[in-house]
Structures are given as C-alpha cells and as structure tokens.
Structure 1
Amino acid sequence: MSEELTLAGLFYRASNGWDYFNLAIPPEDAITDPHERELCRAMLLRALALLGASEKAQLDHVMPDLYGWIQEQITAVENAVRAADKEHGRDWTPTWDARTDSFQILDSSGVPVADGVQPGTAGLIAANAPRLVLLRCAADRKQLKLHAPQPDGTGFPDGFQCRTCSEDGGDGYQYLVPFPCPTIRAVAEGYGWVEKH
C-alpha cells in the first residue's frame, strides 16, 4: 500500500487530498449503525482495489485473521493440557473422600489432582480432564478445516467465502456464505472471541 495511505480505524485517510469526501464515504465516527459501517467499509475496500492498492496490505487490515486466532487459542489450550497430562495423565475421576467429607480428583494412577473440592467443582474438573479437552480441540480443528476461507471468485481482495457453507445451488447460481461463517464464529466464541458491532 502507498505510504500516502494510513489506516484510521476501519477507514483509510490519504495525505494527498484523496480522502473520505473523494470516495463519498463519511468519516468512521459519523457512522453509528454497524450494518452501515460494514457496508461503507466494503465500498472503501473495493475502491482501494480499483485504485490498485496492494492486495496483501488490504487483507492485513481488512479481515482480522480470525482463522489464525482460533488456531492460536487451540494450540494454547493443547499446550496447557499436555503439561497437565505429563503430571497426571489423561483420565481423571472424581471420588468421595469420607475423611474430609469432600471430593477429590484422582488421576489414572490414583494420585490426587485436586483435594477437598465440592461436588460441582469436582464434576467440572473431571469434565475437563486432558483426554476430553484434547478431543474437543481436535473437533474444533476439524471444524476449522471444514470451514476454511477460500476466495469467493469476485476478484476483490476481501472476497472470501466459507468452503463448506457456500455451495452451488444447482440452478446456475453460486450461493456464497462470507467468511467467517456462523460455524467459525461459534468456534471462536468458545475461545472467548466477541464480535464487535
């Protein structure tokens, strides 16, 4: 992208006089409706594409790498789980400890993972034993692979669709589901992502 352009929120400002007015797109703070902001953002990106701005630079600023972010979150969880796995194995079981009138979580060797916990906490810890968490991470990675972004064929640098949700309707039309699709958004939410409106 030209040195004359600098990113200002979701919108670009040019120091050479080519600005919001020239593109007929109002400044970011003047748009309060989220749908309208997204529409203006898309119009601006298309204008930049037509003016020959660098495709990679546009992608870097336009589409947050939600796909990559999810992969990083899954990897962080897997690393934490593998560390616990080295200490206590993959299977944990809650058991009642009559001496202390509380639950303890035992690993497959009978070594306590946690002592003196209440029933709800014991169930939560056991439900997040390394084997089960790794299974959930593997399932999330499968969802990522199934719903990976791919170019949507429009030729615009921000034009991505979900490879699974988008389909040929059999009637001569291609039904595009933009990336990120609802499935990717749901997986991301499971790792704490919140969509900004």
Structure 2
Amino acid sequence: MPDLHGWITQQIDGVELVARRATADLGTVLNQIEYQDDAVTADEQHIMDHDPAAVLRRCEADRRILNRHRLNPDAYWADAAMCEGCGTEGEMDYAVTDNLNDCPELLDLAYAHGITDDILATLDRPQEGERPEPGPGLGIPDVIAQSFASFWLGTRLVEPSPKEKAIKILGPELKKIPGYVPADQEQP
C-alpha cells in the first residue's frame, strides 16, 4: 500500500483521467442541450456545473501542494520521515511533522479526495532513517569527525583522482568484459 502522499497521487490521477474524458463529452452534452427543449438531466447539469477544465486546474493545484509536502530528501536519522513542506521549528530545528502521513496539509487533501480512517490505517508510514556509523571512538559519524579534524588540525583528506573514482565505480563491471586488463596491470 502506498503512503498518504502516494494515495493522494493515485486519487488525483483518477480524477484527471475522468476530467480529460469528460472534456470531450462536455461539447457533446452542450450541443445536445442547445437543440433540446427538454429539461436538462442531472448528469448533464453536473457536467455543466463541474467544468472539466476547472477540475483539471484543481488537480494541478493539488499536485503543487503534494510537491511541497513530501518526504524531505535532506532530512536525516530520526527526521527522515518528516514532511518537507511543514519544515522545522525551534532552535534545534525539530520537525514540525515527524511523519509525512501526519502532515495536516496532506490530511486535508486526502479528506477532499475521500479518505476514511479505515483507508488511512492501511497506508504505509514512511520510516525513520538509519543512523550513520559513529566515527572512531567519538560516537559521532565519520564525516563530522573528519570535518572537525580538518578544521582544528588544518588538514584535509586527500581526495582520489577522477580516474581512481571512475575505476572504483566501474571496476566490477569492467572485469566482466572479455579481454579487460585492470589499469594497475597494464602492459608497457
């Protein structure tokens, strides 16, 4: 099952599909109504009242809200499931919404698309991220320990060359190619 964000996206996709089909039907209905002296049917009135172009604009507005209220790609550790659109608060930048499924904006959108408590209970919940491995003996991640060391000691790590990086990344795939000779074993 998708999370709340995914469920809303599915609902919008369905509404858009119907609205696009109804766009073609609207012209037919309006032409029929023009030439009829009979009363308008409930279906015809509904199509006239809910112009497909207006429905498509609402779907686009909903997608814009979804684009802002999504999993924060820059969040880490326990905040990995936080809503980016709700942001953070306080001196410690605590997540306003710890879990994307608890985002008030998304819950309002979901309500407009017919979510029930039963459906909400079956949706997946984004999970907290995993903590990086702590650095050597300091209980903090390596990257932070390295950053402190470079600042206080005035040293910087020696970065590998682009060639070395490429070989490290591509090496396993290159070894599968018949006749490939690793760069460190090249013949003179």
TM-score normalized with structure 2 length: 0.49
TM-score normalized with structure 1 length: 0.47
Q: Considering only CA atoms, is the larger Rg found in Structure 1 or Structure 2?
A: 2
Structure number with the bigger relative contact order (C-alpha 8 A, sep ≥ 6) is 2
